[in-house]
Amino acid sequence: MRPVQLLGIAFIAAAFAGFVTAMAMGAWQAIPGEDVARAWAVAGIVAGIAFIAVLLILSLLLLAIDPADVEKPIDRPVLLRDQPEADETDGEKPASDA
């Protein structure tokens, strides 16, 4: 993922968080001016926190991925443990002592 894409996703998340906060605090309602100013101030703070949080979380998640592994197809169940290839006995069962 390119840095511009990271910034774009973080900006969209921040804009959404700021918009929801502004609506919840009544920025577009007929209320006194200082309440509208407070609503926009809180919306800006929430948007900034959301921007930084999304940017940090996505960046740290991308550090956990090896770019070379993304291109490799996985042709086995991913939730099962790796099993050894073929045994050296070529499928023969061991003899019992009975």
Q: What angle do the packed helices 3-24 and 33-63 form, to 10 degrees?
A: 150
Average pLDDT on 31-36 reads 91
Q: Residue 32 is encoded by which pair of tokens? A: 């006194």
Is the pTM higher than 0.85? The answer reads: no
**Residue whose C-alpha is closest to residue 30's, from 17, 42, 39, 21:** 39
- pLDDT, tens only, 39-55: 999 999 999 999 999 99
Q: How confident is the model at residue 25 (pLDDT cuts 50, 70, 90)?
A: very high
Average pLDDT on 48-75 reads 88
